[in-house]
Structure 1
Amino acid sequence: MSSLFEAEINRQNTKSAKWDLVKHLYGSEDVLPMWVADMDLKVPEVVTKALQDRVDHGIFGYTLIDTSVKESVSNWVNTMHHWKINKSWLQFSPGVITTLHMAVQTFTNEQDNILIQTPVYPPFYQIIETHNRKVVKNPLLFVNGKYEIDFDDMEQKMQQGIKAFILCNPHNPVGRVWSKEELIKIIELCKKYHVLILSDEIHADLVYPSYQHIPIASLDDEIRDKTITCMSPTKTFNLAGLQASYAVVPNKEMREQLDQMFQKQGIHGINTMGIAALEAAYTDGAEWLASLKDHLLKNATMIKDMLKDCEEITMIEPEGTYLIWLDFRKLGFTQEELKELLQKEAKVGLNDGVSFGIEGTGFMRVNIATTSERVKEGMSRIIHAVKNR
């Protein structure tokens, strides 16, 4: 299985956002892209076969999401995350971001305050601002090399009036997998101040050893009915281009309201190939996923080892996701100087830390869901550029 993840696959000229936008984004074609959150790794063979079977069938008419698809989802969530969900709770969607857009429009009003924990996935800002809601930040605390939630600040913000809170768990980009104790504190505050939870758990399956992802809605019956949990196989199995996700919405009234918003916007479930891939991955993809996580851990460990001889860069130890948060602040560079160093000297394309919020100043995000050789090459370039600046 490990050989699957070490095969160098040329993704150029495949309409890949990651590879075919390199010159546009970084000004040169010789930049190694290690940014957008998809993998340079082939999907499980069971997924390829399911998709090929659909192609061979040769008919691509209207498709329904039947009981077997729903059971594959409920079984996966139960097995992987110890949360028994009812099939009727599921709302299917092309993507988590699509669902968050629908939820914000359905359950909040213009000028409502929506809380996020920064630095955080850039679309969260866009979702809130696009619909004329107000972004309220609860910046994470960086304590002894690890990010923590500032619960005092969170309560102060909620006291001022927060309609909804977009939780990111596991957190992108800092890699935290929030503990049961942390999640319970969040639940207590959201119950106290009547705050709706919109939980982005798209990276739920990508958690490292000794950590366990816990769906926040699984911890409390009351909060379960005030939470929309967004999940998807797309990050787990590298299916982003197939656009397949779902929300778990236990509250019947909320589920119906959300469905009405999807209908109002003309968005109807997921496409034929997305359905086939989702069901195959969730039915027979567990062994592949276990091997993938071993591969990702190997890559993360390699980066940590490589940085032992480069004190100017610190890797924030990841608990989940295949996205590594790198701290370059010891260089004393401005963000523009840091970007210039990485793009023009190192020739590596990373995600700019500031795109996740001002709290990301001095940081960059690197994607390690690629071959070990590419990770080694990218980090070697970065370290060489830093040492020879």
Structure 2
Amino acid sequence: MYNFSVNPDRADSGSVKWSAMKKINPQVPSKIVPLSIADMELMTPPEIISGLQAFLSHTVLGYTIPTKGYLHAISNWMQQRHNWTIDHSWIVPSPGVVPALFNAVRAFTEEGDGVIIMPPVYHPFSRAITKNNRRIIENSLLKKGTDYYIDFDDLEKKAHNPKNKLLILCSPHNPVGRVWTKKELQKIADICLSNNVNIVSDEIHSDIVLPGYRHTVLASLNDTIAENCIICTAPSKTFNLAGLQVSNIIIKNDLLRRQFISTAVKAGYGALNIIGYKACEIAYTECSAWLDQFILLIAKNKTLCEDFIRENIPQIKITNMEGTYLQWWDCRALGMTKNELETFMTQQALIFGDEGYIFGHSGDGFERINLACPTSILESTLNRLKTALNKTLD
């Protein structure tokens, strides 16, 4: 059994979200934990720490290409965890999924082309498009109750426009937490293939799927789809390794892979750091049991939030989270503007999630809450929310 009750103190570590919390509210008390950016308020798996310590005791930290151990670990993980057989030659290391998205936009579209996304969605998708002088084409998700669905009629219409060359898919979806079914993925692929639209599938959260659901790698549906998509994976979300900046982009089609690599070379980046390669290898070969227990923690934390909100703050509606560790709260019934909601959360309730508006206009009035933390932290957070709301409504 692993200990998920330890809350590491990251206040002076350079953590992005802890630093942002102090900037937003310099008077925040020392025991408040931010629940924003998607890394964990938990210790990294002990097998990774001890494995890296042993590795560092006898290695030279020089320039390093992907090792056989690293490549084997990725292919074995994809086979065992996702039932997808890949060849080592398909794997393209990247210093993160976000750089890979930027690179894919440059590689597979021209300036002025349209790139389709499904908001509310992870905000770097939009940046990858606009910063490269492409156009954002919104295929907005449809919200029905506490679930979200794809608007396939609108997707068909957007994909049919020859100026729209690429779809960036989020699977599982961040922030709404959907784990797309095989039927949904097949329909997405059919529409894109029939309209010559390539797909970049961001599957960075694919290992974090709650009991009762199953992730399907888009490229595993059939060979035709595999030849027309780019799969973005990483151990970073799964094992709390974001700071090592190692991602594994899997591209079966030789032409697409060469285009992707050529574009990356033009931007001046190539190999990863030696620690990243080794951490990925250790994670995928030794940490499966840790992940299984972590997912049970997320399921527990998910239920805790749902039950507490339903019983104490029924105005907030929580979207059904099937995957990721990011919960999507619909706070619109509180009657606050998006700016008022942000002020209330960060100055009164002392809750530092991610504001929904950063995921697109359809996120106005929502909060994204990171559940990858000890359960006690969430209990404190929820009680602060209840107390602050009671004061506001009195």
TM-score range, shorter chain: over 0.9
- The C-alpha deviation readout for 1:289-315, integer Å capped at 9, x for no partner, is 000001111111111111122111111
| CA positional deviation for 1:57 | 2.5
Q: Which residue of 2 aligns with 1:211?
A: 213
Structure 1: segments with no counterpart, 5+ residues: none
The alpha carbon displacement at 1:384 in A equals 2.1
Partner of 1:114: 115
Q: Which moved more, 1:258-267 or 1:68-77?
A: 258-267
Quick one: distance in 1 between partners of 2:68 and 2:7? Answer: 38
Give the match for residue 292 of structure 1.
294
**Aligned counterpart, 1:195:** 197
- Secondary structure in 2 matching 1:22: helix
Q: CA RMSD in A?
A: 1.2
8 Å CA contact 2:73, 2:285 repeated in 1 = yes
Q: Which residue of 2 aligns with 1:338?
A: 341
Question: Counterparts of 1:181-330 in structure 2 under 5 Å?
Answer: 181-309=183-311, 310-330=313-333
> Which residues in structure 2 correspond to 1:14-93 (within 5 Å)?
14-30=13-29, 32-57=33-58, 59-93=60-94
Pairwise CA distance, 1:361: 1.0
Q: Counterparts of 1:100 and 1:199 in 2: how far apart (Å)?
A: 9
Asked whether the 8 Å contact 1:231–1:247 carries over to 2, the reply is yes
2:11 aligns with: 12
Distance 2:201 2:103 in 1: 13
* Aligned counterparts of 2:288 and 2:93: Cα–Cα separation in 1: 21
Q: Which residue number in structure 1 is paired with residue 362 of structure 2?
A: 359
Paired residue type of 1:317? N
Secondary structure at the aligned position of 1:230 is classed as strand
Q: Is the 8 A contact 2:7 2:43 kept in 1?
A: no
* Letter of the structure 2 residue corresponding to residue 292 of structure 1: F
CA contact (8 A) 2:24 2:346 kept: no
Q: Give the 3-state SS of the residue equivalent to 1:235 in structure 2.
A: helix
Q: Show structure 1 runs of 4+ deviating over 4 A.
A: none
Counterpart of 2:21, as a letter, is V
Measured after TM superposition, the shift of residue 27 of structure 1 is 4.5
Conserved? CA contact 1:205–1:236, under 8 Å: yes
Q: CA deviation at 1:324?
A: 0.4
Kindly indicate whether the alpha-carbon contact (under 8 Å) linking 1:26 and 1:349 is maintained by their aligned counterparts in 2. no
Contact 1:32 1:347 (8 Å CA) reproduced: no
1:273 and 1:344 map into 2 onto residues whose CA distance is 39
SS of alignment partner, residue 386 of structure 1:
helix
Could you tell which deviates more after superposition, 286-295 or 37-46?
37-46
Q: TM-score, normalised by structure 1?
A: 0.97
Q: What CA distance in whole angstroms lies between the structure 2 residues aligned with 1:142 and 1:299?
A: 23
Could you tell me whether the CA contact under 8 Å between 1:72 and 1:283 is conserved in 2?
yes
Residue aligned with 1:92, SS: strand
Q: Is the 8 A contact 1:39 1:238 kept in 2?
A: yes
How far apart are the structure 2 equivalents of 1:62 and 1:160? Answer: 45
Q: 1: CA distance between counterparts of 2:390 and 2:176?
A: 25
Shift of 1:58: 5.7
**Does residue 170 in structure 1 map to residue 177 in structure 2?**
no
Sequence identity of aligned pairs in percent? 39
Instruction: Give the structure-2-normalised TM-score.
Output: 0.96
How far does residue 189 in structure 1 lie from its aligned partner after superposition? 0.2
How many aligned residue pairs are there?
388
Distance (Å, rounded) in 2 between the aligned partners of 1:387 and 1:327: 18
Alpha-carbon offset, residue 59 of structure 1: 2.4
Give, in whole Å, the separation in 2 of the partners of 1:272 and 1:355. Answer: 34
Separation in structure 2 between the aligned mates of residue 282 and residue 293 of structure 1, nearest angstrom: 16
Residue 150 of structure 1 corresponds to 151
